[in-house]
């Protein structure tokens, strides 16, 4: 009787485990089908906003409660290639007339201010008569307006609203939390305000406006003493591909295209209203005209802020592997299963990883080019872990 009781108990536990696993699978499929999904950027059609190998989260549930809005970045089923998805920006809505005149986009005869495209790049038109957007249809474009860089509504016309599979909310950001904390402490030790934020969870977003007011307290008091009620104006500046627009949208609580705005001094920039007393200037990504330190350029290339096709991909991977091996050896060991000396050169580390992956050429040579591409892909996609490429100067770090 005791053995039968134990067998029945084991059987019940097994059934409960099976139920839990089935429930988890069903829940995961439900979330993927109806709530959100991940997307992976291939190509440069959305450059400079998105870069190859960017990983995105697109919301499906939003489509049940609202229509896609102008300036939304969306994942859509390719109308010209069944089974393939495109990532584009919504430009025209139902009832709009879209025209491209002298390289600029007009909606209902009004110039569309586009802060997200590269400056001085003309938008090519393939239809002199323009496009009329019918009911339940949308007109979409890629942000990369260079010739033949984006296959969009200029080529295949307006798309059905039902082609939209999700609205892109944000990209993954995978900084090392300990390094972020160290940078915050460093900037504060220099008398600067520093607010770590996470646009995915909105952590830290609510601290931004109070921090701005604290930094500009003297200016606010001077204006008040003069009876002036001028709004504070803050410029958001950063290198390409760091999520400036996402940050602004999170701070303002709405899409930049929906926010109250007015053109900035330079074409392609716009003011976004957070509240009546605070305006944020949205700017395109900027880079130094020349890198005095080649290492700066290399680190930007690791992240995709600089196009890798202007560099030797294997050399780039050598330096990245050495950097990761120096600061995050456990992550490299766990991912590639290699054991090497602490002072191993980058090319030997890359060869060892390629050998472990079985990337062999004729006569047993390692296909380091293939391994280089895999390393950069897995670094940018977050498969390797959370990393920060640069730390504050050790002699100046302040610990709380």
Q: What is the mean pLDDT of each run of 10 residues along the chain (400 residues)?
A: 56 74 64 60 80 72 77 89 90 94 92 78 85 95 89 93 83 74 90 83 82 89 86 85 79 55 42 83 77 80 72 89 92 87 92 90 88 85 78 61
Look up residue 111 and give its DSSP letter.
Answer: E
Q: Which runs of consecutive H residues, i.e. helices, occur in 89-243?
A: 153-156, 177-189, 208-215, 217-225
CA distance 323 to 328: 8
Long-range contacts at 318-321 (CB < 8 A, ≥ 24 apart) = 318/345, 318/346, 318/347, 318/349, 318/350, 318/372, 319/346, 320/346, 320/375, 320/376, 320/379, 321/346, 321/349, 321/350, 321/353, 321/375
CA distance 124 to 52: 22
Residue 134: per-residue pLDDT: 94
Token reading at 42:
């291939």
CA distance 275 to 254: 12
Q: Which runs of consecutive H residues, i.e. helices, occur in 291-345?
A: 294-303, 313-327, 329-336
Rg of the chain over all Cα atoms, to the nearest angstrom: 25
Residue 27: per-residue pLDDT: 57
The alpha carbon of 139 is separated from its chain's Cα centroid by a whole number of angstroms, namely 23
Residue 107: per-residue pLDDT: 93
Residue 396: per-residue pLDDT: 47
Which of 360, 241, 220 minimizes the C-alpha distance to 300? 241
Q: Which residues are annotated as catalytic?
A: 45, 88
Rounded to 10 deg, the angle between the 329-336 and 313-327 helix axes is 120
Residue 347: per-residue pLDDT: 92
CA distance 359 to 378: 16
With left for phi above 0 and alpha for psi between -120 and 50, is residue 396 left, alpha or beta?
alpha
Model-wide pTM > 0.75: no
By the 10 Å C-beta count (0-12 exposed, 13-18 middle, 19+ buried), 19 is classed as: exposed
Percentages helix, strand, coil for the chain (3-state, rounded to 5) are: 40, 20, 45
């Amino acid at each position: 009787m005791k053995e039968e009781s134990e067998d029945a108990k084991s059987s019940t536990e097994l059934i409960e485990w099976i139920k839990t696993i089935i429930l988890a699978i069903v829940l995961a499929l439900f979330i993927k089908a109806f709530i959100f999904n991940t997307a992976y950027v291939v190509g440069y059609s959305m450059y400079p906003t998105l870069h190859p190998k960017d990983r995105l989260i697109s919301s499906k549930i939003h489509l049940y409660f609202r229509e896609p809005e102008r300036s939304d970045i969306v994942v859509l089923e390719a109308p010209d290639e069944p089974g393939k998805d495109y990532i584009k920006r919504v430009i025209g809505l139902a009832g709009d007339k879209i025209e491209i005149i002298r390289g600029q986009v007009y909606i209902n005869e009004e110039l569309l201010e586009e802060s997200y495209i590269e400056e001085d790049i003309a938008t090519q038109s393939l239809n002199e008569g323009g496009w009329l957007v019918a009911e339940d249809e949308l007109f979409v474009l890629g942000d990369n307006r260079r010739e033949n860089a984006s296959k969009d509504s200029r080529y295949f016309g307006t798309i059905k609203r039902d082609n939209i599979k999700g609205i892109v909310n944000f990209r993954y950001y995978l900084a090392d939390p300990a390094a972020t904390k160290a940078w915050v402490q460093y900037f504060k030790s220099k008398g600067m305000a520093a607010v770590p934020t996470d646009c995915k969870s909105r952590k830290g977003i609510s601290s931004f406006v109070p921090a701005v007011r604290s930094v500009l307290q003297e200016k606010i008091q001077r204006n008040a003493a003069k009876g002036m009620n001028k709004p504070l104006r803050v410029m958001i500046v950063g290198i390409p591909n760091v999520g400036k627009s996402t940050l602004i949208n999170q701070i303002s609580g709405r899409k930049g295209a929906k926010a109250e705005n007015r053109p900035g001094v330079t074409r392609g920039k716009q003011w976004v209203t957070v509240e009546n007393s605070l305006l944020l200037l949205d700017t395109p990504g900027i880079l130094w005209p020349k890198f005095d330190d080649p290492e700066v350029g290399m680190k930007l290339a690791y992240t995709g802020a600089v196009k890798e096709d202007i560099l030797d991909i294997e050399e780039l991977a050598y330096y990245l592997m050495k950097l990761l091996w120096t600061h995050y050896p456990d992550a490299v060991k766990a991912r590639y299963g290699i054991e090497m000396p602490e002072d191993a050169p980058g090319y030997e580390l890359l060869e060892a990883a390629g050998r472990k992956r079985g990337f062999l050429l004729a006569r047993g040579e390692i296909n380091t080019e293939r391994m280089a591409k895999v390393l950069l892909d897995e670094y940018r996609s977050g498969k390797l872990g959370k990393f920060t490429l640069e730390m504050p100067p050790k002699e100046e770090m302040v610990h709380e």
